Structure 1
Amino acid sequence: MSDSKLSPKQWVAPHIAGLPRSGIRDFFELVKTMDDVISLGIGEPDFVTPWHIREACIYAINHGYTSYTSNLGDPRLRKAICKYSAENFGLEYKPENECIVTVGVSEALDIVLRAVLSPGDEVLYHEPCYVSYAPSVRMTHAVPVPVLTREENDFVLQVEDLEKAVTPRSKVLLLNYPNNPTGAGMTLADKQLMADFAIRHDLLVLSDEIYEELSYIPRTPSIASLPGMKERTVTLNGFSKAFAMTGFRIGYACGPVDLIEAMMKIHQYSMLCASSIAQAAAIEALQNGQGPREDMRREYEQRRNVIVKRLNEIGLPCFMPRGAFYVFPRISSTGLDSATFAKRLLQEKHVAVVPGTAFGSCGEGFVRCSYATSLEEIEIAMTRIQELVSALS
């Protein structure tokens, strides 16, 4: 028998060992060690889940709605989702086999990638982007292919850049508009260009629409509703952002029957089903939550207007977001890189923002600020940021 001592690290698969930790979470481990910090960092609504949604959850518990649901999700919730999609996004789906309820949008993204990708397949996606996109692709042994977006285009993905990146191995185009971290949004013309590109290169489109209800411009139809797109698009959405239900962990995906069936196979062996209690709350949110949802959206819009105005006055140029609850100001004029600026702002002024590099290399020179916090705290944070910028100049 060998006397050598084994390290548990040796058992970790190489493709997992090589994954970076989330740049957001690492940064906010530091935040937790400090007092009097105003956080413009974590992308989570500061509103409590509307009372009637919480009451629906309590009612479900009190009446014993605590068993497994169908692998696809509670039929009542799937019916409500499809009705909501038709009324709000112009998308017609069958609740019986074109919709699946997942544990947040993160699981929906994970299982659709695992359902469609083989080792070596390529996924085109835009950067800056949500931190999990590239790691989620790598975990399927596929290849993430970032396509950089630019400030001069309001961080909207450009077809000419996609054409330079596409190869015969490209299989998926992953889109997230309104966007985290930039707040960018797509017009109908932009979506049509993406649709034409996907059809031209025979790509599956994954449309992450988690911020769609938090739009500050007239909403345009989903890319899945454009001619020739429904059969090659899976839409991903959920309840965390628009309904302030992050802890409920409920998301969903809608798409072609064969793809939903493939996703269900993975879901049933890994998750079985989403929480029955949370699904009951989600039904209430879709059926009666439009009023509170719109109240929250209007409050975010007011905050957006204030924070954009203040950042531009401070000398940190920032375009007006079209959706979500993030701004992405340029801080390069301070002479600091994104990580250094964020650390100094935290250490010297007790304001937390996220370095733009957490969302891809082209985020250098920017930071992400979430305005999912009160106007009072936003005003105080802007004053502190101004103090740092003035000291640096």
Structure 2
Amino acid sequence: MAIDLNGGQYLAADSAWRTFLPNETLATICRGLSPSVLATVARVSRQWRGVAEWLLYSNIFISETLSASSSLPYSTLRCCQTIRLHSHLANGLRKLHIRWKLEYGAYYAPDFDIFLSNLTQALGLATNLQSLDLHLGLPSLSEHPTSTFLSFPATDVCYHSLRRVSLSGIGPFTHNRLKIFLNILPAVRHLRLPDYHDQITLIPQALPSLVSFSGSPRVAAAILPGRPVQSLVLIGQDYIPDLDLSQMVLTSVPLRHLDLSSMLVTPTLLRNLSRNLNTVESLKVKLALRHTLHFAGIGLLAALSHLLGAFRNLSTLDLSPTHVDYTGLSNSTEELSLCRSWQNACPSLRRVVFPSQTEWAFQEDDNTWVSVLAGELRRRPAFYSPNKFLGS
């Protein structure tokens, strides 16, 4: 028997190979093969099946759409049941990414707890996980029954290899359940909790390796103090209390990257941020100035100069998330003037991306600002043409 290993090369599966080839060597040979090829490899022999299944279950990516006609995630259930029944598969699991999408008209069935219970048990066995991403789309309101939220594994489980965690749509968070889970993640470097908004208190030793966090300002204020977070993504609101901002400053290393593209930023909020998080080197902002910029033009942004001056290390300012009508319209003269004005206030500034998506970079050699799109013709898009509104 011969098997095509993707690139046209064939691996003979004679009795000698099946008898004497160590599992480790076979795993090295088969690593990187596509799932379809691994499924073929699994039919060669019992040994090859074991190795192929181990590789197939090392990185699991499941995406299911729950509809009125199929309201239960059976692929997730079958996967979790297999992991529960075969401990070697659980030990080899490195990435577990599950995404459920609720189609319009669908609902969560009463026996949903069977599926969530199997997922919880599978997580409890997969202690060698490196990346966990759960986006289940479950109702977040507390009045929903307990059958529609995910429980976390028992407290005696510890995930020493887990580096990335993203949890959203897992149902109504119970404070203690999430807190206990975060306390047993000593190696996590990247944490994302986009739909958790309650206060949380972790033990001081929790998340000692955390370098990036994405979530609400309130949770960020609780998690950042004392931890080496360098990158922060804030989600959800256009007002942040001064107390929360003062807590975000208490990281064990200076905060370097701040992403505000998931919230509308007013000049007042930007001023408060500049007074507190002034160590950032890159700042991505979605300004709440859509209609103002539409009528007044980007020259209005010159007023940001006195705010940017407070960011003593700022090298990159990205305003591209700011939505403006006729986004394709950019004015070289105005943008260049703003770059120079902002750099006068913030000498460390080296890169600017405008709402027009045009990027400008500072050239140290000749001390000038250069547009990345300098060679392209800039003009208003067709849909902005006045003739369109005249019916011509």
Q: TM-score, normalised by structure 2?
A: 0.28
Question: Larger relative CO (CA 8 A, sep 6+): 1 or 2?
Answer: 1
Structure with greater proportional strand content: 2
